[in-house]
């Protein structure tokens, strides 16, 4: 085996490795199924490789942060939402969802302004429906 052949095999191996790595990053950052799923921008801090997602259903809010191995997931029942704060910056917004228990809020960085407003609207809509059912 000469030097040129070795370099060719190294280049092929590196190409295969980079292709697999790219596929893995795209697969882990794919949009989850659901009617109200909001993915943060990859252009913001903490979301560059694996963007966080906020999944809102009629009964809960789940923040999903993919990691190299596994994922970090925080869930909050709709009845435990106390307030929603939107911090708008130049391009992106941060959404902070306070709980009734006073514990650490659910903070989502890097959503567009439109998504941040939509997140608040959807949560408020589901909260209204939840409390109407209880009466």
Long-range (24+ apart) CB contacts under 8 A made by 42-51 are: 43/92, 43/110, 44/92, 44/109, 44/110, 45/109, 45/110, 46/109, 46/110, 47/109, 47/110, 49/25, 50/25, 51/110
**Shared-domain flag, residues 21 and 57:** no
Q: Based on the number of CB atoms within 10 Å of its own CB, is 80 exposed (0-12), middle (13-18) or buried (19 or more)?
A: middle
Q: Which residues of the chain have pLDDT under 50?
A: none
Instruction: Note the pLDDT of residue 45.
Output: 87
**Shared-domain flag, residues 25 and 38:** no
Instruction: Note the pLDDT of residue 97.
Output: 94
- With CA atoms as reference, report the closest residue to 27 among 19, 37, 36, 38: 19
Say how far apart CA 48 and CA 44 lie, in whole Å.
6
Instruction: Note the pLDDT of residue 131.
Output: 84
Note the Cα 115 to chain centre separation in Å. Answer: 12
**Shared-domain flag, residues 84 and 119:** yes
Q: How many domains does the chain have?
A: 2
Q: Tell me the CATH number at 108.
A: 2.30.29.30
Instruction: Note the pLDDT of residue 135.
Output: 60
Instruction: Note the pLDDT of residue 104.
Output: 85
**Shared-domain flag, residues 3 and 49:** no
Instruction: Note the pLDDT of residue 81.
Output: 93
Domain of 3 in residue numbering reads as: 1-30
**Shared-domain flag, residues 16 and 53:** no
**Shared-domain flag, residues 39 and 22:** no
């Amino acid at each position: 085996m000469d030097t040129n052949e070795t370099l060719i095999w190294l280049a092929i191996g590196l190409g295969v490795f980079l292709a697999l790595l790219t596929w893995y990053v795209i697969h882990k950052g794919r949009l989850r199924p659901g009617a109200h799923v909001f993915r943060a921008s990859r252009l913001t801090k903490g979301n560059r490789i694996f963007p966080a997602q906020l999944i809102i259903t009629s009964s809960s809010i789940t923040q999903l942060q993919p990691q190299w191995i596994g994922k970090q997931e925080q869930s909050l029942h709709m009845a435990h939402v106390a307030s929603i704060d939107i911090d708008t910056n130049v391009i992106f917004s941060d959404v902070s969802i306070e709980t009734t228990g006073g514990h650490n809020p659910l903070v989502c960085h890097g959503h567009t302004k439109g998504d941040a407003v939509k997140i608040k609207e959807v949560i408020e809509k589901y909260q209204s429906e939840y409390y109407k059912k209880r009466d």
